[in-house]
Structure formats: C-alpha cells, structure tokens
C-alpha cells in the first residue's frame, strides 16, 4: 500500500464580467442620485436632466447592442422606444430631480424610487377591482 495521498488544490472561481454587471448596475444607478444632488445647485432640474439625456444619448448611440439584442428594425419602432423612454425617464427622473431641487435627500429619493419599483402602485389595485 502506498502511504502517499493524492492532493488536489482547488482553484478559486474566476470573476467574469457577467458576474460583475449587477454590482456595476447598482453602483451606476445609485450614483445618479448623488450626481443629481451635486449638480442641481448649478442648473434647473429639467435643464440638468436634459443635459444628462444628451450625454447618455451620445454615448449609447455609439454602443453595440448586447448579445441577442438588435437595433430597432424601423423608424416607427425606434420612435416607439424613444417615446416610452422619454415618458418613463422624463417623469421618473424629472420627479426625482424636482424633488431633490426642493430639498428631498438623495438617499430618501433612492429609497422611494427603489420601493416603488418593487411593488405595484396603489391605483393599479383600485383599477383592477373596479373592472
């Protein structure tokens, strides 16, 4: 019998880009509230938001769609995406920026928005009950 044992050393798991994306998303999303709070003393809320949209549009316009994603197939499809984006982000971020300009804290704003996205709005229950 051999008294030697076979030792194998386990290698630690490697970090992949895909495993880091959720943390990157949270970092970028949460830093937007702080950036808004820092920038709003120097610009009106909707001006600041418009500037942010212009910068993001320029950056995203040069980006490649991810795997399995595609660019809009027609001008009509692109217009639908643009309208939804402006309505969602304009009302969502517009409300946040106006709140921040009026003195609501960045952390409180982030908590309110974070909680509102995880539960349905109260009017959805009322509208479904009346149907």
6 has a pLDDT exceeding 70? no
**Tens-digit pLDDT profile for residues 37-74:** 888 899 999 898 888 888 878 887 777 767 777 888 89
pTM reported for the whole predicted model: 0.61
Q: What count of other Cβ atoms lies within 10 Å of the Cβ of residue 48?
A: 20
Q: Which residue has the tokens 């969502």?
A: 92
Q: Where are the domains of the chain?
A: 43-57+75-118
Contact call for residues 38 and 106 (beta carbons, < 8 A) = no
The distance from CA 96 to its chain's CA centroid, rounded to whole angstroms, is: 13
The predicted structure's pLDDT at residue 1: 54
DSSP per-residue string spanning 5-23: ----PPPPPPP-HHHHHHH
12 has a pLDDT exceeding 80? no
Tell me what the pLDDT averaged over the chain comes to: 78
């Amino acid at each position: 019998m051999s008294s030697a044992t076979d030792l194998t050393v386990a290698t630690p798991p490697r970090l992949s880009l895909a495993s880091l994306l959720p943390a990157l998303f949270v970092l970028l999303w949460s830093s937007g509230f702080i950036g808004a709070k820092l920038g709003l003393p120097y610009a009106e809320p909707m001006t600041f938001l418009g500037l942010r949209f212009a910068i993001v549009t320029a950056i995203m316009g040069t980006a490649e769609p991810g795997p399995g994603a595609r660019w809009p197939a027609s001008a009509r499809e692109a217009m639908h995406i643009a309208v939804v984006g402006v309505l969602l982000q304009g009302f969502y971020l517009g409300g946040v920026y106006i709140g921040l300009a009026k003195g609501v804290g960045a952390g409180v704003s982030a908590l309110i928005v974070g909680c509102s996205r995880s539960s349905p709005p109260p009017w959805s229950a009322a509208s479904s009950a009346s149907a």
